[in-house]
Amino acid sequence: MKTSGYIKAGFLIVGFFVVLFVYGHFIEPNGIKIREVRIHSDFFSSLLENKIIVHLSDLHLSGFGKNEIKLLSMIDQIDPDLIFLTGDYIKWEGDNKPALTFLSRLKAKHGVFAVMGDYDYSDSKNSCLFCHEKGSGSPTKQHSVTMLRNSLHEININGEKIRIAGIDEGNRDLGDFNGIDILVDKNSSLLVLSHSPLAFDQLSPNNKIMMFAGDTHGGQVILPRWLFKLLGYEKNVKYNYGLYSQGNKTMYVTRGTGISHFRFRLFRPPEIAVFRFSP
């Protein structure tokens, strides 16, 4: 009887892990969620009230197929005013053609803005094609996304100036910005895109900054902070996923939509982050 009980328990345990594997490998990675994020801020509501920002990150595309078409369709239905992308569009040293195709299909009323991630620089010969035509310094014609490489871009929405800065993952030294504080107009707000959330530590809490970051994947699986620390993932220890605030600065770290290292997500589904602003 005892032996029979042990066998049944063994089958249950094995079955449990098989179900977890099937769910984490085949189901959750394809279950893209729309994550609504409401930002309550007098700083930003005057500029962005009734506007919709979509934030995407960590696509890690190896091809362009039905999942990518589904993702683009979901974004089209949201009908965003702005789209922000925070890097890692390809697999490590992977083909960038699927990513360039995906970027070419993105559209928003007031523009699409992006920064590069470390994976995008893994193929050093072709990384420049995200910004420039092959063999030329001319801006790329493959998409209309504005790539921010330690640079600032200004747009005008309903007579209001919106300032968007991008921290480049290829060189995250904010000294290339001549100090990001110089970019901050004390009378206005600044939207910052960064692949790594650790750049948040370099921004002054006295400045009116809303930062968008990725890179962490929300861990891809639920793990305790001490284990992330043991594995050397400082970014997940400090800024794993969600909203973070310090003084006047705020950051959102998205789980992203893709997978790195291994195809597995467990209770950290891929997401499209949708931002709405109010006082």
pLDDT at 180: 61
- Residues 157-167 have pLDDT tens digits of 888 889 999 99
pLDDT band for 184, please (50, 70, 90 cuts).
low
Q: Is the pLDDT of residue 171 over 70?
A: no
d(CA 125, CA 160): 39
Question: Among 105-119, 141-155, 164-178, which stretch is predicted with the lowest mean pLDDT?
Answer: 164-178
Q: How do strand 242-246 and strand 160-167 relate by DSSP bridges?
A: unpaired
pLDDT at 89: 97
pLDDT band for 88, please (50, 70, 90 cuts).
very high
- Residues 188-215 have pLDDT tens digits of 679 999 999 999 998 889 888 999 999 9
Average pLDDT over residues 229-239: 95
Question: Among 12-21, 48-57, 93-102, 243-252, which stretch is predicted with the lowest mean pLDDT?
Answer: 12-21
* Terminal Cα distance for the chain, rounded: 66
Are the C-beta atoms of 206 and 189 separated by less than 8 Å? no
pLDDT at 191: 95
d(CA 208, CA 191): 9
Specify the pTM: 0.94
d(CA 83, CA 163): 14
Q: Is the pLDDT of residue 172 over 60?
A: no
pLDDT at 32: 96
Q: How high does pLDDT run on average in the chain?
A: 90
Average pLDDT over residues 110-129: 93
d(CA 213, CA 126): 23
Q: Is the pLDDT of residue 261 over 90?
A: no
pLDDT at 174: 53
How far is residue 114 from each of residues 17, 26, 49, 230, measured CA to CA in Å? 39, 29, 22, 32
pLDDT at 143: 94
CATH class, range 31-278: alpha beta
Sheet hosting strand 146-147, strand order edge to edge: 33-40, 271-278, 52-56, 82-86, 112-115, 146-147
Helix (H, G, I), strand (E, B) or coil at 194: strand
- In the chain, what are the domain boundaries? 31-278
DSSP H or E run through 68: helix 66-78
Buried-state track 67-99, b at ≥16 Cβ within 10 A, e below 16: bbeebeebbeeeebbbbbbbbbbbbeebebebb
